[in-house]
Amino acid sequence: MRPLVLVALAAGLCAAAPVKVDPKLQAELTASGYAIGPDRTITRLKDRAAIDQALLAQAGYVFDEQGRLILLQGHVPVPLPRVPAIVDSLAEFGRIKALDARQAAEALRQWGVPTVVEGRHLLNPDGTPTYFGFALYNDLKDRRGAGSRIDRARIAQALLLYHDAFDKTFRAGMPDEGMADLFKARFAANSQLDPRARPRAPSAASPVASLSAPTAAASRAGPAEQRRLAAELSRLERLRFHPELNLGNVPLPAGVSEAAPPSHVVLPRLLALADKLNGKPLTDAQRRWLIDAMPLGDVLLRLGAPALWRQGLTGQGVNVAVVDTGIVRDPDFAGRVASARDFINEGKIAEHGTAVAYAITAVAPDAQLRSYRAMDEKGESRGTSVAQAIDAAAAGGNQIINLSLAGPDYPEMRAAVARARAKGILVVAASGNDPKAHGVEAPALDPGALAVGGLDDDGHAWSGMSRGGKRQLLAPARVKTLVVRSDGTREYDNRTGTSMSSGLVSGSSALLWQEASRGTVQLVSRAAATLADRVEASLWARTGPPQDLVDGRVLDLAKNPIDNR
């Protein structure tokens, strides 16, 4: 993001510059269907979308004394052939900026649009739209029918593209690519519309607001854990959502501070506390709001994990080995990474293992992770280090081994998987990200491993995965997870692949292992000899019908396993 001093400099340049426009620039704008006013506001004639100087400056462009459009960084003139792409993109954002906040917020509520999807909020705490809310309203306002349905997966897709469009236009200096993402988002948003569907009730507002008084009281009294959770719950309502994504039309609500969402690992306990403070269980809509407020919320809902949390299943007492690129130290893993071993002993810990570990703990927040670094910075290994790590994990008291890696079927790796399974350990492995491969890749291909494939946002088999040769358990492939880069910066960002799917299934397995250790899953697996066998049987018993993949089943933890026997 550009330093604030540059934005201030841009505003100063705009104010001081004489009202003059370079004739060549004016001719280019006219030929492209734009007019430029005496205050240098550029207006698209077909729809009156306006690009004022503040919007230009936010994207890194200003007018110089000669009336040329120049790049703020370097003060070099923008080549005239680039001007149409720049103004076409900014005009789309100008449309969004000019929308009426009250009308947009009311329409989103009446349409039943969720107030938050995958951690992206459409409304601020004061009820005004965020950038995401304005952008979605802009794309739906002229097309939406009264009976249209809301498809959360499509909305999530559109919100991701809105985010990418903003980044490319205002941070990366690629407005033409930003505009392309806006058009993709418009298609995603409108492809959900079904005129035959029944109208929906207005979407539920944040449940935190109605709990503000009891939450405030709980944050001052009671056990220390309750006070901490109440403070986290209260923080959800005080958040200033997406302050970095602002076109200047979303004022900062009074008393609202900028902050990160609470850690995902407290989510099951947050839900339990909210029920207690509410005096009765929250409605499904209220629970969905709280879950969706987390970076991985929508994926957790699709996976059905909250249904098991209600039964007290959080992975307590289960050890999960993560054989990967290593796990970095991070507050989100505080007290949850019990040990770490390195079978590479060179280079830095890459971000892949941390992203996978986050997916595991999002599903099973009380599981203990053990890190076994067997892949280098590039995510590569010849098989020997992986086999050594699997053997070490099998000897280290782990119940589950996650292998978010795929490639050739090394004999030593296959033998290590077999030894681990013979010891009663569940081995969960990603099927691979190569649709041109001849089938599921190793180690998922090995008889002792549970092969995991991916689901796209529409619930279909992910087109990018390896398939064939073995039945696969399918889980979401696109996950908003924790990314910690080599320079130490951290953010929640989307990662896609069967590696993420495998992490989600390992977390799910930890929940079911905890259940199996209680002896409560025998109804679905009477013939199972070990706990690992029972857990695997329970996983398959909680699947839905095939989704355009003959040898695949969709994991849904909310399903009753007895119904699938």
Read off the DSSP letter of residue 80: G
In the chain, the largest separation of any two C-alpha atoms, in whole Å, equals: 84
The arithmetic mean of pLDDT across residues 72-80, rounded, is 88
- Dig out the tokens for 334 from the structure: 């505080």
Range with the poorest average pLDDT among 192-206, 227-241, 310-324, 523-537: 192-206
Upstream peptide bond of 443 is cis (omega within 30 degrees of 0): yes
Q: What was the pLDDT predicted at 259?
A: 55
What pLDDT digit, counting tens, does each position of 435-465 carry? 888 889 999 999 999 999 999 877 888 989 9
Tell me how far CA of residue 314 lies from CA of 157, 300, 366, 524, in angstroms.
29, 13, 5, 20
User: C-alpha angle with apex 163: 48 to 181, nearest 5 degrees?
Assistant: 60
553 membership: H or E segment, kind and range: strand 552-555
CB-CB contact of 451 with 439 (8 Å): no
CB-CB contact of 195 with 148 (8 Å): yes
What span, in angstroms and rounded, lies between the C-alpha atoms of 362 and 349?
Answer: 21
Confidence grade of residue 254 (pLDDT, cut at 50, 70, 90): low
- Considering only residues 248 and 76, tell me which one the structure prediction assigns the higher pLDDT: 76
Range with the poorest average pLDDT among 73-77, 284-288, 430-434, 495-499: 284-288
Q: Which long-range contacts does 377-384 make (Cβ < 8 Å, 24+ apart)?
A: 377/325, 377/347, 377/348, 377/350, 378/350, 379/325, 379/350, 379/352, 379/405, 381/344, 381/405, 382/410, 383/407, 383/408, 383/410, 383/412, 383/413, 384/410, 384/412
Q: What was the pLDDT predicted at 144?
A: 55
Number of residues in the chain: 565
What span, in angstroms and rounded, lies between the C-alpha atoms of 444 and 462?
Answer: 17
Query: At residue 101, does pLDDT exceed 50?
Result: yes
CB-CB contact of 429 with 421 (8 Å): no
222 three-state secondary structure: coil
Catalytic residues: 324, 352, 499
- Dig out the tokens for 85 from the structure: 């792409």
User: C-alpha angle with apex 446: 442 to 447, nearest 5 degrees?
Assistant: 165
Shortest CA distance to 444 belongs to which of 465, 429, 432? 429
Shortest CA distance to 426 belongs to which of 333, 343, 564, 540? 540
Q: What was the pLDDT predicted at 339?
A: 87
Domain boundaries, the chain: 4-90, 99-294, 313-520
61 three-state secondary structure: strand
Fold observed for domain 313-520: Rossmann fold (3.40.50)
What phi and psi values does residue 479 have, to the nearest 5 degrees? -135, 135
What pLDDT digit, counting tens, does each position of 155-189 carry? 888 988 998 899 899 988 888 898 999 988 888 88
What span, in angstroms and rounded, lies between the C-alpha atoms of 426 and 388?
Answer: 17
Tell me how far CA of residue 67 lies from CA of 15, 177, 250, in angstroms.
13, 26, 30
CB-CB contact of 550 with 537 (8 Å): no
- Dig out the tokens for 200 from the structure: 């929906």
Q: What was the pLDDT predicted at 458?
A: 76
Confidence grade of residue 195 (pLDDT, cut at 50, 70, 90): very low
CB-CB contact of 94 with 50 (8 Å): yes
CB-CB contact of 332 with 413 (8 Å): no
Query: At residue 240, does pLDDT exceed 90?
Result: no
50 three-state secondary structure: strand
**Exposed e or buried b per residue across 71-99, where buried means at least 16 C-beta atoms within 10 angstroms of its C-beta:** ebeeeeeeeeeebbbbbbbbbbbbbbbeb
Q: Is 184 exposed, middle or buried (0-12, 13-18, 19+ CB in 10 A)?
A: middle
What span, in angstroms and rounded, lies between the C-alpha atoms of 166 and 182?
Answer: 9
Read off the DSSP letter of residue 201: P
